[in-house]
Amino acid sequence: PHVITSRCVGTKDQSCVEVCPVDCIHPASDIDGPEAFAASPQLYIDPEVCIDCGACVPVCPVEAIFYMDEVPPEEEASIEENRRFYHA
Ligand code: SF4
Ligand code: F3S
């Protein structure tokens, strides 16, 4: 799957949400709405729903999204973090 790294923190642009064809990008796993968005430091991709279409990658203004095998070393914790949000 694709992964949102900590580069999303502080921006949360949400362009990625609009282009995802399978709606697998959310601020939190089981809650939604403005409260969840405000409380979430960044957005996360559900690794079991992502179909690796790649549409979200170019629309992110801070280049926060990577295919999991291409996540920069300093952002590797993001892989588990995205999964934990949906499948803790
Ligand atoms: Fe959604 Fe495609 Fe990005 Fe996966 S790669 S999160 S399916 S837009
Ligand atoms: Fe974050 Fe980029 Fe999406 S800043 S919310 S990953 S468009």
Q: Which CATH class is domain 2-86?
A: alpha beta
pLDDT at site 73? 98
Q: Write the ipTM.
A: 0.98
20 lines ligand 2 (CB under 6 A): no
62 lines ligand 2 (CB under 6 A): yes
Q: What's the gap in Å between 62 CA and the centre of ligand 2? A: 7
Tell me the one-letter amino acid at 52: D
Q: How far is CA 82 from CA 22, 72, in A?
A: 16, 15
Residue ranges for the chain with pLDDT beneath 50: none
Q: Can you tell me the distance from the alpha carbon of 49 to that of 34, in angstroms, rounded to the nearest whole number?
A: 23
Q: Parse the chain into domains and list their residue ranges.
A: 2-86
